[in-house]
Amino acid sequence: MTMPRRLPEMVLGRKFPKITIDQEKCTVPFLCKKCLQICPEAVFHVTRVMKYEKRLEEMDPRIDGYFVLHATRRDRCTVCNRCIDVCPVDAIKIEV
Amino acid sequence: MCYLCDQYGDQQYGNGLWYMNPYNYARNMYKLRLPGEVYKGPEAGIETGEFERTGPTQDDLFAAIEKGDATEVDNIIKALDARSRQSGTPGQVLPLKDALAVLDLMTCIGLIACLCRKGVRAIDERNEHEYTCMGMGVGMLKWERWPERYKGGVKFVNPEEAQEWTREMDRRGFCHILMLFGAPFIGGFCQCDYPDCMALRNAVDLGIGTLKSHYVAQVDYDICNGCGICASRCQWGALKFEATTRKASIDQFKCYGCGLCETGCPRGAITLIERVNLPALAEVW
Amino acid sequence: MTILRQSAPVIFGRKFPKITIDQEKCTVPFLCKKCLQACPIAVFFVERVMAKEKRLEEVDPRIPGNYVVVAERRDRCTMCNRCIDVCPVDAIKIEV
Amino acid sequence: MCYLCDEYGNPEFGGGIWYLNPYNYSRNMYKLRLPGEGHKGVEASPETGESTGPTTADLLNLIEKDDREGFDRLVKQMDEGMRQGGGGQVLPLKDAEKVMDLCSPIGLIACLCRKNWRAVDERSENEYTCMGMGVGMLKWERWPERYKGGCKFVNHEEAKEWLRELDRKGFCHCLMMFGAPYIGGFCQCDFPDCNLIRWAVDFGFGVLKSHYVAQVDYDACNGCGICASRCQWGALKFEVTTKKASIDAFKCYGCGVCETGCPRKAIELIDRKSLPALAEVW
């Protein structure tokens, strides 16, 4: 059975918006969580810093740099700029 | 039947449904390591940093789409789908009645905080009342080894409590997806919704990963009075309200058979029928 | 750039069910309308018989043969057989 | 803007939106016949048996034969055919009411799609769910089969009230062209009865998305879920975790039925132009 047909967000040749997150400014994303909860398309994703030797320790979200924000589903981003408006430290930049 | 049933199902138990086969819950499942693979199965949890991924990632897929290379997009989707089948990570959608049956077979059920909601919506589930995820199997007994993953601790429950809790989740509108950590070892039972659950999201957006359930929803037009409650519960975009006939209409090719519309309908107008009974859906998983 | 506004995956190579409607038995479909209103995904389509020179005349649905039922969207048919159960004259046959 | 605005829009009227340009409604539009084409435009309505273009059956054969290039070519051809012939665009209620001021005469008629798909026979005036527009309607007696129940001519206010009533019932408003840009009909559609919605949702060509996209105001939304039952496009899902409606902007056709259905006015239609990523998603 051949693969399902492509879906709209997989329109070939479509350029996805480039989302850059300034890690110096955005230090405690898990506590702040403003952009994560405002994005209508749930583009962002917060994970703990993936260090192998630290894998058995609990990570305290209050400590800078233990959690890091990614824009994993940037193909869903509609550049509505809600995250930029809501971010208290202006860490997010989006270029179409 | 679905590929999991073909491999792990047994006709004696639950006429071939793989999750009804008690041998898939046996203790020895836990040691089942595919030869040559390190940290597969429950140890290689997403939080461990050791979850090495072979093959293409989502960024490769985005790059291929942006480049506009059709064959590469197809190949990457095939590879992503093959890998999720081989490691069996996102398993299969289960309706409520099957979910309750599975909880009878399973031992060592622990309510835990959900990983996806923590990552996608930064929701911090710290105490027992907020947990929306469920860890299953003997692997849960080692939960102290992963303090980050089980930050709020684990609430071990007996099957009755687990079933009551699953009914509560169903009332709220979460789909029940059985998660495998190295098929057929069942490691988790997720309560999912769109777009928070990554397994559900990849299934709806990219068409890979989570398998449809063994059932498909069907509306009984005589009973349905067009109240529309079911429409808000469908996470798959398969159920629409047909204004002309004032009835709910289900696109059975998109329906994942999660049964939320069936349990949500106050008049019982929607019933889940076996996917096998609809020949056209035989290969639609 | 190819703009594919496709939103449902089409599975290529899939054989659709063959639906045959016996025109001798099904003579006044527009009055009967049972299969048309029972099908959960509206596979059937009733249209008047298209005689070009008679296009400016009104067609009476009571007269047998003026309207005919066609299985227009048989790609959506899931063979749930509701139409077969509901048809008073057993005019519908569906094979895989 | 969408290709209709590029070709038929005029910046002076309604910010370049083609259906707000009065010239597209004027009488001479009706005589606009593409050279050499017979019954195109109003005469070639589906009831006349004149439309000779490719049909859904051809598409299905190509899918069964697993011929993807053929499928792509035919979809492009049918999409192209719709650009000149019987295409259309989804309109939210607020724009639909503006169109009512521009167009005359307006006649309420029985709906063809419901007649064909669900054998719904609309005979009396309060059952009509379709609207014929423009000078072509004055010749309705010529087509007794198409206007079986007759035709109820209404003025602009009645037409607007009628549109609001159907919007309450959950129908989407799609402006239909008979030979672009002649606007011949205003359909009140839903899935799966309307063929154009069906083609758009299933195969990706057909009716155009509107100039607006729906967005949820997370503070106002209390998670009642009424909007979810009204969305015909599968674009609006209820996110249980945050107890809010979540709209997939790429699938949203901007019909505004969720906006008018929301008791708390939590959903709002914003301009498609304001979301750069949706610039080419029509």
- Domains belonging to chain D, first-starting first, are 3-49+85-202 (no CATH), 212-278 (3.30.70.20)
Instruction: Establish if A3 belongs to a structural domain.
Output: no
Residue B44: strand pairing partners: none
Task: Tell whether B35 and B142 lie within a shared domain.
Answer: yes
Q: Which candidate in C5, C6, C16 is best for mutational testing of the A interface (most A CBs within 10 A)?
A: C6
Spatial distance between the Cα atoms of C85 and C35, rounded to a whole number of angstroms: 9
Among the partner residues A37, A56, A72, nearest to B122 by beta-carbon distance = A37
* Residue D77 CB burial class (10 angstroms; 0-12, 13-18, ≥19): middle
Instruction: Establish if A9 belongs to a structural domain.
Output: no
Q: Dihedral sign, CA of B239, B242, B246, B250?
A: negative
Instruction: Establish if B122 belongs to a structural domain.
Output: yes
Mean pLDDT of D120-131: 86
What pTM was computed for the model? 0.79
List pLDDT tens digits, range B198-220: 888 888 877 778 888 999 998 88
Query: Do C12 and A2 lie within an 8 Å CB cutoff?
Result: yes
Mean pLDDT of D233-239: 86
According to the model, what pLDDT value does residue C91 have?
93
For chain B, count helices (H), then strands (E): 9, 10
Highest mean pLDDT among A2-16, D32-46, D104-118: D104-118
CATH, domain range C18-50+60-95: 3.30.70.20
Task: Tell whether B161 and B193 lie within a shared domain.
Answer: yes
Task: Tell whether B30 and B141 lie within a shared domain.
Answer: yes
Task: Name the band, by pLDDT with cuts 50, 70 and 90, for residue D193.
Answer: confident
Write the CA distances from B3 to A69, B16, B17, C9, integer angstroms.
36, 11, 11, 20
Instruction: Establish if B59 belongs to a structural domain.
Output: no
Q: Which of D62, D72, D69, D141 is nearest to D107 (CA)?
A: D141
Q: How many domains are there within chain B?
A: 2
List pLDDT tens digits, range B6-58: 888 888 988 888 888 888 776 555 555 555 555 544 445 555 445 556 678 87
Instruction: Establish if B266 belongs to a structural domain.
Output: yes
Mean pLDDT of D249-276: 90
Spatial distance between the Cα atoms of B11 and B18, rounded to a whole number of angstroms: 9
Instruction: Establish if B196 belongs to a structural domain.
Output: yes
Residue C19: strand pairing partners: C94
* C11: chain B residues, CB-CB within 8 Å: 283-284
Write the CA distances from B211 to B21, B256, D72, integer angstroms.
18, 8, 28
The Cα angle at residue A42 between residues A41 and A43, in degrees rounded to 5: 90
Instruction: Establish if B109 belongs to a structural domain.
Output: yes
Q: Domain residues for B275?
A: 215-281
* A40: chain D residues, CB-CB within 8 Å: 215-216, 246-247, 249
Inter-residue contact D115 to C61 (CB < 8 Å): no
The Cα angle at residue B33 between residues B28 and B38, in degrees rounded to 5: 145
Instruction: Establish if A62 belongs to a structural domain.
Output: yes
Task: Tell whether B17 and B130 lie within a shared domain.
Answer: yes
Mean pLDDT of D181-196: 85
Q: Domain residues for A83?
A: 16-95
Query: Do A12 and C13 lie within an 8 Å CB cutoff?
Result: no
Residue whose structure tokens are 């709910």: B248
ipTM of the complex: 0.72
Domain at A26, CATH number = 3.30.70.20
Spatial distance between the Cα atoms of B44 and B190, rounded to a whole number of angstroms: 18
Q: Which of C6, A42, B261, B255 is nearest to D229 (CA)?
A: B261
Q: What are phi and psi of D277, to 5 degrees?
A: -65, -20
Q: Which of B234, B121, B129 is nearest to B174 (CA)?
A: B234
Q: How far is CA B161 from the centre of its chain?
A: 20
Fill in the amino acid letter for D193: D
Q: Dihedral sign, CA of D27, D28, D29, D31?
A: positive
Query: Do C75 and D205 lie within an 8 Å CB cutoff?
Result: no
Inter-residue contact A87 to A35 (CB < 8 Å): yes
Chains near C with 3+ CB pairs less than 8 A apart are: A, B, D
List pLDDT tens digits, range C82-93: 899 999 999 999
Size of interface A-D (CB pairs under 8 A): 42
Write the CA distances from B64 to B84, B198, D203, integer angstroms.
20, 21, 23
Fill in the amino acid letter for D120: V
According to the model, what pLDDT value does residue B94 have?
93
Spatial distance between the Cα atoms of B96 and D87, rounded to a whole number of angstroms: 44
For chain A, count helices (H), then strands (E): 3, 4
Domain boundary among B205, B238, B266: B205
Residue-wise pLDDT tens for chain B (285 aa)? 788 888 888 889 888 888 888 887 765 555 555 555 555 444 455 554 455 566 788 788 888 888 877 788 888 888 888 877 776 666 899 999 999 999 988 888 999 988 888 878 878 888 777 888 898 887 788 788 777 778 878 899 999 999 999 999 999 999 999 988 777 778 888 999 888 888 888 888 777 788 889 999 988 888 998 888 888 899 888 888 888 888 888 888 888 999 999 999 999 999 999 888 887 777 778
Task: Tell whether B134 and B188 lie within a shared domain.
Answer: yes
Inter-residue contact D203 to C73 (CB < 8 Å): no
Q: Does B144 touch chain A (CB under 8 A)?
A: no
Inter-residue contact A4 to C11 (CB < 8 Å): yes
Spatial distance between the Cα atoms of C40 and B274, rounded to a whole number of angstroms: 16
Check pLDDT > 90 for residue D247: no
Q: Which candidate in A2, A9, A16 is best for mutational testing of the C interface (most C CBs within 10 A)?
A: A2
Inter-residue contact C87 to C45 (CB < 8 Å): no
> Whole-number mean pLDDT of chain D?
83
Q: What are phi and psi of B270, to 5 degrees?
A: -110, 130
Where are any strands of DSSP class E within chain D?
88-91, 106-109, 130-133, 152-154, 172-177, 183-189, 212-216, 236-239, 244-247, 267-271
Q: Does C3 touch chain D (CB under 8 A)?
A: yes
Element (H, E) at A18: strand A18-21
Task: Tell whether B145 and B240 lie within a shared domain.
Answer: no
Domain boundary among B205, B223, B251: B205
Task: Tell whether B166 and B264 lie within a shared domain.
Answer: no
Query: Do D144 and C73 lie within an 8 Å CB cutoff?
Result: no
Task: Tell whether B125 and B256 lie within a shared domain.
Answer: no
Q: Does D141 touch chain C (CB under 8 A)?
A: no
Task: Tell whether B27 and B116 lie within a shared domain.
Answer: yes
Spatial distance between the Cα atoms of C72 and D29, rounded to a whole number of angstroms: 33
Residue whose structure tokens are 């350029």: A15
Spatial distance between the Cα atoms of B22 and B33, rounded to a whole number of angstroms: 19
CA of C41, closest CA in chain D: separation in Å? Answer: 7
Task: Tell whether B127 and B175 lie within a shared domain.
Answer: yes
Query: Do D192 and B242 lie within an 8 Å CB cutoff?
Result: yes
Task: Tell whether B166 and B112 lie within a shared domain.
Answer: yes
Inter-residue contact B163 to B170 (CB < 8 Å): no
CA of C36, closest CA in chain B: separation in Å? Answer: 11
Spatial distance between the Cα atoms of C88 and C46, rounded to a whole number of angstroms: 17
DSSP designation for D232:
S
For residue D168, what is the nearest residue in chain B, using CA coordinates?
B243
Spatial distance between the Cα atoms of D182 and D178, rounded to a whole number of angstroms: 6
Query: Do C11 and A1 lie within an 8 Å CB cutoff?
Result: yes
Inter-residue contact B151 to A59 (CB < 8 Å): no
Instruction: Establish if B69 belongs to a structural domain.
Output: no
Spatial distance between the Cα atoms of B141 and B147, rounded to a whole number of angstroms: 13
Does D30 or B225 have the greater pLDDT score?
B225
List pLDDT tens digits, range C33-87: 888 888 888 888 888 776 666 767 788 888 888 888 988 888 888 788 889 999 9
Query: Do A8 and C2 lie within an 8 Å CB cutoff?
Result: no
Instruction: Establish if A1 belongs to a structural domain.
Output: no
List pLDDT tens digits, range A65-90: 888 898 888 888 888 888 999 999 99
Task: Tell whether B124 and B184 lie within a shared domain.
Answer: yes
Instruction: Establish if B77 belongs to a structural domain.
Output: no
Domain at B273, CATH number = 3.30.70.20
- Burial letters D109-125, b for 16+ CB under 10 A, else e: bbbbbbbbbbbbebeee
Other beta carbons within 10 Å of D85:
19
Domain boundary among B155, B181, B205: B205
